[in-house]
Amino acid sequence: MKNKYIIILVLTTLLASCTKNFEDFNTDKKRPADVTGEALFSNAIKNLADQLTTPNVNLNIFNLWAQYWTETTYTDEANYDIVNRTIADNTYRAFYRDILEDLQKASVLIALEEATVINTQAAIDNKLRVIDMIQAYCYQILVDVFGDVPYTEALDIENISPVYDDAATIYSNLITRVKADVSGMTVDDGTNLGSADFIYDGDAEAWVKFGNTLLVKLGITLSDVNPSLAQTTVEDAYAGAFESGEDNANFPYLGSSPNTNQIYAELVLTGRNDFVGANTLVDMMNGLSDPRLPSYFTTIDGEYIGGDYGESSPYSQYSHVADHIKDPTFPGFLLTYDQLLFYLAEGAARGWSVGGSASELYTDAITASFDLWNAGSAENYISSAGVAWDAANWKSLIGVQSWIAFYVRGLEGYTQWRRFDVPTFNIAPSIETESDIPVRFTYPINEQTLNKTNRQNAADAIGGDELTTHIFWDVN
């Protein structure tokens, strides 16, 4: 009997040992099972910056669709083919799965934190408001790209077939949310995000300015479709928005992989020469003798030459992306001071009270763009033919100059073109007229099978799931 107990004891010990060893073997020491809300916030911000800045044609083709760049060999994307590489699916997935889901989980975890002397309840609340502002920022992008999208039922793991919400209603709700976030921030308590906050290092006051600038962006986009809401939103927010380029929401990329600028990752590390400057932008800047050209592009035998948009444009024959933009530490622009000033110049031109005249704010916007690009003095350029302020021609001037200023921010440049219908874009070989140029992404192919009914309802609601179906705010 004694021997029997000894055998049982030995087997029990061995099994326990084996179980422990197997558990150790199956535990990835580099990927802990427990993660903090702050870490998820960091990951979401990094994913957001990467998505906005990458020129990988599987993920982001807006530098092409803004006609800042064109392709050298494979010209599908410059010719508006988003199906071959399922670009809409990839974009949709990046925002919902890689960014918004992380932000949602971060919010849940941070809400569960216990208040302490250091991590006060006010600081916890501030963190939640910062997360909410970034969520609003992302949803605006989704609406601006697709139109009606899942919103109220999005991110619910139990609901694999969320309804698509009305895009205009989403915008109104985003404005309400961000207003609440801004007014609820207690600046003196900070955010306690610290180094987890790659943008502002936990500075609550900086996030208040970000929120107000985002409100101006949301409001100004509604100018043609809901002028009353647009005006009150902008007028209420502008005074608390960015005050200089020091307030810019820039993502600080590092000098080594995997944390480098995504333009560097795609244009340098890959060794691929897929893009050159498009003649649309290069010809416009040449015609205006724009001093920012050296900051944007390289020369070919001393001249700036853009490739014909949508045509195969040999890399050796046309201007390339400027070397400093391909530096691994070149920042990712989320929201900038020059952007704000162009929005305010537009508001002033519409007769709104936004702290200055349209001509003053227009001048300040171009100056801020020159500062952003280290292009020297903007004084002579601002007074030159084709640039000098003309109140009767304000839409064309602001539209063209903001489009030029938003270089490498492809979605923002593309959005300005959609809003102002300037400059005149070149006609790619795949289409016949300017009216054939896409003004949105079609819904992801996967949605046609995974969420068919709701996707069809959304398509019907917006007037058809076509590349040429206008986003609700694009009424001109």
pLDDT of residue 34: 75
The per-residue pLDDT for range 384-411, each reduced to its tens digit, is 999 999 999 999 999 999 999 999 999 9
Quick one: CA dihedral 347, 361, 322, 330, positive or negative?
Answer: negative
pLDDT at 437 over 70: yes
Average pLDDT over residues 241-254: 98
- H helices of 77-203, in order, are 87-93, 101-111, 121-146, 167-184
Domain 37-258+329-462 has CATH 1.25.40.390: yes
Average pLDDT over residues 264-277: 96
Instruction: Concatenate the DSSP letters of all residues of 296-339 into one string.
Output: HB--BTTB--PBPTTS---GGGSPPBPGGGGSTTPPEEEE-HHH
pLDDT of residue 188: 84
pLDDT averaged over every residue in the chain = 93
- Count of beta carbons in the 10 Å neighbourhood of residue 184: 15
Among 5-9, 145-149, 451-455, the minimum mean pLDDT is found in 5-9
pLDDT at 1 over 50: no
User: How do beta strands 275-277 and 164-165 pair?
Assistant: unpaired
pLDDT at 333 over 80: yes
pLDDT at 243 over 90: yes
Say how far apart CA 159 and CA 68 lie, in whole Å: 39
pLDDT of residue 55: 98
pLDDT of residue 326: 97
The per-residue pLDDT for range 420-429, each reduced to its tens digit, is 999 999 999 9
42-46 contacts: CB < 8 A, separation 24 or more?
Answer: 42/196, 42/197, 42/198, 43/102, 44/98, 44/99, 44/100, 44/102, 44/103, 44/106, 44/134, 45/134, 45/197, 45/198, 45/199, 45/251, 46/198, 46/251, 46/259
Average pLDDT over residues 200-206: 96
pLDDT of residue 4: 37
Nearest partner of 275 among 312, 247, 246, judged by Cα = 312
The per-residue pLDDT for range 73-130, each reduced to its tens digit, is 999 999 999 999 999 999 999 999 999 999 999 999 999 999 999 899 999 999 999 9
Tokens of residue 341, six digits: 């000033």
pLDDT of residue 189: 73
Please report which confidence band the pLDDT of residue 11 belongs to, taking 50, 70 and 90 as the band edges.
very low
Peptide bond into 258 cis (omega under 30): yes
pLDDT at 6 over 90: no
Say how far apart CA 62 and CA 441 lie, in whole Å: 11
pLDDT at 14 over 70: no
CA distances (Å), origin 75, targets 25, 124, 145, 300 = 48, 48, 21, 22
pLDDT of residue 27: 46
- H helices of 147-226, in order, are 167-184, 204-221
Among 96-110, 183-197, 277-291, 335-349, the minimum mean pLDDT is found in 183-197
Average pLDDT over residues 130-159: 97
Average pLDDT over residues 284-307: 98
pLDDT at 33 over 70: no
Say how far apart CA 194 and CA 202 lie, in whole Å: 4
Among 16-20, 252-256, 328-332, the minimum mean pLDDT is found in 16-20
Average pLDDT over residues 36-42: 97
Quick one: CA dihedral 79, 85, 91, 92, positive or negative?
Answer: positive
pLDDT of residue 476: 80
